């Protein structure tokens, strides 16, 4: 299995508080992605990174920000959590060396009350 970890794995937070989710990889892959998974919607891309300090918005980026200060870590921040951000969040990595296949982390279940 690809070396991808996510922390925390579960979190309950209150509306209006900031939350940061961490994705850590040990594969030295160039590309990293954050998705959210909601029933009936599949996975939707929030933000992605194509290198250190190089990030861009995905399909559902409103209310989220990201940072990547080193190759192995990609942080997702909910600036002021809302109930609509209750979801399961997945991090993924890919690289040209592996044909751009995406490898997924175990996910973080976030509940905003």
Partner 1 sequence: AQSVTQLGSHVSVSEGALVLLRCNYSSSVPPYLFWYVQYPNQGLQLLLKYTTGATLVKGINGFEAEFKKSETSFHLTKPSAHMSDAAEYFCAVSLSNAGGTSYGKLTFGQGTILTVHP
Instruction: Return the residue of 13, 20, 27, 31 that touches partner 1, per CB under 8 A.
Output: 31
CA distance 82 to 94: 30
| Window 48 to 67, contacts with partner 1 (CB under 8 A) | 48, 50, 56, 58
User: Binding residue for partner 1 (CB under 8 A) from 14, 62, 99, 113?
Assistant: 99
Peptide bond preceding 86: is omega within 30 degrees of 0, i.e. cis? no
Cα distance between residue 57 and residue 77, in whole Å? 13
Residue 41 binding partner 1, by CB under 8 A: yes
Q: With CB under 8 A as the rule, give the number of residues binding partner 1.
A: 25
Q: Residue 63 or residue 103: which is nearer to partner 1 going by CB?
A: 103
Residue 110: which of 72, 63, 69, 68 has the closest Cα? 63
């Amino acid at each position: 299995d690809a070396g991808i970890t996510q922390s925390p794995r579960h979190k309950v937070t209150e509306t209006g508080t900031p939350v940061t989710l961490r994705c850590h990889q040990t594969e030295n892959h160039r590309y990293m992605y954050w998705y959210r998974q909601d029933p009936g919607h599949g996975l939707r891309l929030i933000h992605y990174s194509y290198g250190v300090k190089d990030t861009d918005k995905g399909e559902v980026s409103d209310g989220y920000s990201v940072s990547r200060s080193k190759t192995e870590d990609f942080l997702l921040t909910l600036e002021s959590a809302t109930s609509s951000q209750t979801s399961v969040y997945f991090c993924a990595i890919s690289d040209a060396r592996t044909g751009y296949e995406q490898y997924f982390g175990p996910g973080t279940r976030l509940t905003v009350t």
